[in-house]
Amino acid sequence: MEGSGLDIGAVMARLPHRFPMLLVDRVLELVPGEHIAAVKAVTINEPFFQGHFPARPIMPGVLIVEALAQAAGILAVETLGLQGSGKLVYFMAIEEAKFRKPVEPGCLLRLEAKFLQRRATVCKFEGTALLDGEVAAQARFTAMIADAPV
């Protein structure tokens, strides 16, 4: 899969998330063991915009970090061969989260994530969310690989 992208169907085959919590629309580039670049098309129809904030809709920072984590989850699934294994990638920690620009309806949010550390059941990532090439948010986060709940 080196250097190739994934459409929404392929994204959904790799993540358990579904609307309204699926926050990756397409993968532009994925190099297993290294990095991923994906996108989230932010529209006014997102359910969170009804309350955050009605007069000035802004995507909540925690959802930007979640989108980055989902992109990193796809990277982990591809790198570790987890698709169809029954294993899930679970968030464990968020560190050094910074928010630089508001993400508003009509934006195409580019999600970039790369491995910082990879072990059998725990992975660390660095993620950056970009708007037109400028940093909107960034964070480091840790995830664990575990069985799906029964």
The span from the CA of 75 to the CA of 91, in Å, is 14
List the single range of 2-16, 21-35, 91-105, 118-132 with lowest mean pLDDT: 2-16
Distant-in-sequence, close-in-space partners of 112: CB < 8 Å, separation ≥ 6: 35, 36, 37, 38, 71, 127, 128, 129, 130
Domains parsed from the chain with CATH numbers: 4-147 (3.10.129.10)
Distant-in-sequence, close-in-space partners of 133: CB < 8 Å, separation ≥ 6: none
Predicted confidence at residue 149, as pLDDT, reads 85
Q: Catalytic residue numbers? A: 52
Whether 141 and 68 have beta carbons less than 8 Å apart is answered as yes
What's this model's pTM, rounded to 2 decimal places?
Answer: 0.95
Task: Give residue-wise pLDDT tens across range 91-148.
Answer: 999 999 999 999 999 999 999 999 999 988 999 999 999 999 999 999 999 999 999 8
